[in-house]
Structure 1
Amino acid sequence: MDQYQFTQTISKYSQHLFEHAIKFTRDEDDAKDLVQETLIKGMRFCKNFADGTNLKGWLYVIMKNTFINDFRKTARKKEVITTDDEISNAQLTKSAATNNANTTFAMEDISKAMASIKPEYSIPFQLYFEGYKYEEIAEQLDIPLGTVKTHIHQARHGLQKYLSMYRK
């Protein structure tokens, strides 16, 4: 039997497969998807079907295995993504307020820390933080490359000391 004849033959079983798919999925749309997947796999693997055997049974096994595999995939996803804790609007508001307050204090501390650093250290550090490369900073400030690296290192060290309370 060629591909076209095989496709015509298996399409006759779609209603029967749908009835069984409803029993598996208990949802009409999911059942339609399962039947479609089954028929596609049946067409794709038609070379594996032995003529003279039960085609309806062969398709049913494909459908059952497809459903089981999909069920296992879904179960694995649910294990990874747990929804044990319900998140209420009140919890989100409290969390957002806490985060906003913490962020405000942290930004104030960072600003104070930057102000405490000597300008010759903070300017190269800010440029580096903005994404400039050491060479670009050296060229822009007209200072040696080694000096740029030293100033950035000193700025980091000063910030670490000033912001040590935020270390975990």
Structure 2
Amino acid sequence: MENRELVRMLEKQSPQLRAHALKFTGDIDDANDLVQDTLIKALRFQDSFEEGSNLKGWLFVILKNTFINSYKKSRQKRDLIKPEDELSPGELIPSSIGNKALNSFLMADIQTALAKVPESYRIPFVRYFEGYKYHEIAEELGIPLGTVKTHIHQARLMLKKQLKAYNLDRQKNIN
């Protein structure tokens, strides 16, 4: 099957996938992300689709498996943080007071490091940090989704390299 034909067929299935994804997620943004991930996987693994078989069924299996894998990951993260591990506000006050000066130096260093990141990487990174989803950033900037992900990744690497001293200090404090 040609790529164009597959894309056309996937577009036809999108509304039904979105409705099904919404039943899983209960949130329209999460459902859109789930459909997007499903369609990307379908394109990536199009060679495993047998022409003449049920495309809709194949897509729904991908959607369901993608949701299940995502759910398992989020559940594992949630299980790592237990309510008894949380600190009360009274326990946090001495720590926050002592860290105020350090945090102001850290923020200044982060801003300096961020200013050194090329604008094409910095803008998507800042948008992602502000809570925007990849597809929202891609739409706003008019660039492909993969480019957004690459630029955010590159910005992280640059910042990690520039702020390496803080990571070394943190590792010393852990040991």
TM range (shorter): 0.5 to 0.7
| More helix, by proportion | 2
Give the Cα–Cα distance (whole angstroms) in 1 for the partners of residues 30 and 96 of structure 2. 38
Q: Which residue of 2 aligns with 1:34?
A: 34
Instruction: Find the structure with the greater CA-based Rg.
Output: 1
Q: Which residue of 1 aligns with 2:77?
A: 77
RMSD in angstroms over aligned alpha carbons?
A: 2.1
Q: Can you list the C-alpha shifts for 1:114-135, whole angstroms capped at 9, x where unaligned?
A: xxxxxxxxxxxxxxxxxxxxxx
Give the Cα–Cα distance (whole angstroms) in 2 for the partners of residues 74 and 16 of structure 1. 25
Unpaired runs of at least 5, structure 1: 101-168
- Structure 1-normalised TM-score? 0.53
Cα deviation for residue 84 of structure 1 reads 3.1
Find out whether 1:47 has 2:53 as its counterpart.
Answer: no
Q: Which residue of 1 aligns with 2:11?
A: 11
Q: Which residue of 2 aligns with 1:119?
A: none
Cα deviation for residue 58 of structure 1 reads 0.5
- Quickly say closer, same or farther: Cα 1:92–1:58, change in 2 above 3 A: same
Q: Which residue of 2 aligns with 1:57?
A: 57
Give the alignment of 1:7-156 within 5 angstroms: 7-93=7-93
Q: Can you list the C-alpha shifts for 1:15-61, whole angstroms capped at 9, x where unaligned?
A: 00000000000111100000000000011111111111110110000
Q: Can you list the C-alpha shifts for 1:141-161, whole angstroms capped at 9, x where unaligned?
A: xxxxxxxxxxxxxxxxxxxxx
User: SS of the counterpart of 1:13?
Assistant: helix
